Structure 1
């Protein structure tokens, strides 16, 4: 059988190419590399690559099969009908869910291939939208199996990476204009769905008793990473350009369109991230993700606000931020947990104060104002005096 012969040849070449240098000669490695590169040039390789994915046990051969599909489908796009594209996408997603013990680099390459297919189909609607992927993600999350839940997170991460148009986007020969059109379409149709999905999962994890199990910790870490990626998203404008960060802040500020008001200005959203940090702060990696989410939420700006909702949001943020400092004590601010990130939260808020000429002390609720004026040794007062000395000189007296 031709497919089987090609598979055996690719597997043998993969073994030689990946072998330690003391076991193969330079000529043998070069010959193996030539075989792999020639395989990547196979015309209409989809049936062959599917055969290899289904039958090979060699991880590097599986990786090369996925890579070949990813590269070929862009070149062959005009030659493939909608049914063929959808069949290939469905096969790859089904393959991932049926082979959850794949090596991570193989799984990530297959998921990136799925994301490339979805992205390429964004504008001409060849194949289905992201609905099928979201259905798979929901099913995997609901399974209760931590491995399958982490696979679901990898699916969402691959999707975000592909549409974000950053250095994590595939180099598949598409133009800048095409990438930007796809990015904008994704922002309008699916990015908010990803964020709402993360909120749903975060709410479910937040009610679990502390300390979290090892599995729940791993799951929360991945979900927070996805939430951070969404909150760090650089939204495109109507003209196709990307919103840039404040000139004083190296991170992109969060500047979504007005369609995000219902979810980002919902008081439950902000309070959820402060509550989830209480679970995340005992793990350094999770604490970094959760604090980065809070940094981005501090930078929220743009058409999403009216004057009234802006002040309400800032008041809630400051209240939650100061409660967070009290619950973790001011050691959170002073410790090595993430002092720079905590400072960035304050700096993000300070940008909002500068834009709207708002006094920091005016944003405090009655209880906090009483603490400010009656107990100047309180850690909350220390934070306000540290970051807003010019605005709050009267607090020192």
Structure 2
């Protein structure tokens, strides 16, 4: 059932993005009286799952879910219909339209992608508000759960002051900013320290995956599971808090891990909290310094507030107030994705190894249905689709825009033969990128990273 929910969200999001992107080309084409021969969700290689001709346009659904397309008459596109281009230009063809009209048609898809993302962020701001933990709430700093971040010099208990020169006001933003960061400033026992992150930090993160992020709020030791074969199975229960070990106060889970090291192979007196009452128990520590139980590496925001770990702030907005807040959120996501692309383009960062294909996109959807998660992911994917389509690669919208701008500036239109060659080269590049991204997915699935 979980896989069905993930797949449903994945296909619904993908279909929505593709249809609206292609609609962005379709509408201005029709406004400028340009004939659109096909409008397809997914690719119809050899056959279609569904098709119906209405007027001059055939609408359909292909069987290959790798995208979608509109086939505009008189345009050299992925269909590579060169026979039509050998005929005399017709007034209803794309090639017969003024350059400014062709530019608007080509920019229509990415324009819709960006508008969609911003509309979603505005809507989410209005309906869900903004939940966050103020960085100032984390009085005792953060728990560093990423080995590469520890190796770079950050320690549990550090309070993050700034990342790349920008002060951190909301803890929720820390993990996303750290991924692309070069420098962070922390407060360690009242002293400010500057930590330089290595240029291949992203590559190190991918090799040392940690669930839950790079840093999480410091929380008490909350038992989340206990092995039936554990000698402590009868002693501990899920949701127990371990408060003391051998008289030593254990405030946070990161302290607990290091404290256990001193009691390998021993039985230790402990104090636990169960149902808001303290109990004295004895815990058996194995030779590896473990209790054979799992403890929570983090809790969701609502549970954290109920447990009194820190205050959860929720800002609510009117529809008018949601507009600037949602727009700013969209801009922040766009800038963040731009930073990631810049890192991917720099081989020394190793970020290119993390490029993923359809499986990577599929994996980010949750196994339980959540409209909030669905819309958040869809908005981000819309931004990614818009940015990727703007890349100046022939066969992408950005490639067509590049040639149109050249035509408008120079007054010279590239020949149809040149455009055919450019489209072929662009198509080969796209296939190579597609193979690389999905090949990365397969490789990571095999090696488990």
Give the TM-score normalised by the residue count of structure 2.
0.22
Q: Quick check: which has more Rg, 1 or 2?
A: 2
Which structure has more relative contact order (CA 8 Å, sep 6+)? It is 2
